Amino acid sequence: MADLEAALADGAEDPGLLFRRGVSRRALGDEAGAREDWLAHLMACGDEGPPFVEEIRAQAPEILTEGGGSIAVGASAAVSMP
């Protein structure tokens, strides 16, 4: 976790780091932090489509919605803004 924190603090722009930190936070019991990181990951991926969308859907389906009031992420999902 410390390595992920350091990389993100140094300005690393790899959205995958946000996903991985979210996984770590969830494993440590920080559900809110995990959701924040996963949402940031989805937003950072933009139109490219996030590579970890299915993993996020399995862990936090409330982040992903179908339909209005969401921001489209790739072709198969939309991000719900809390």
Please give the pLDDT value at position 35: 92
**Burial category of 28 from C-beta neighbours within 10 Å (exposed 0-12, middle 13-18, buried 19 and up):** exposed
Tally of structural domains, the chain? 1
* pLDDT tens per residue, range 34-80: 999 998 898 888 777 788 888 988 988 888 775 433 444 444 444 44
Please give the pLDDT value at position 80: 47
The 10 Å Cβ neighbour count of residue 21 is 24
pTM, rounded to two decimals: 0.69
Which residues constitute the domain of residue 71? 2-80
- In the numeric block, the tokens 């992903």 are attached to 64
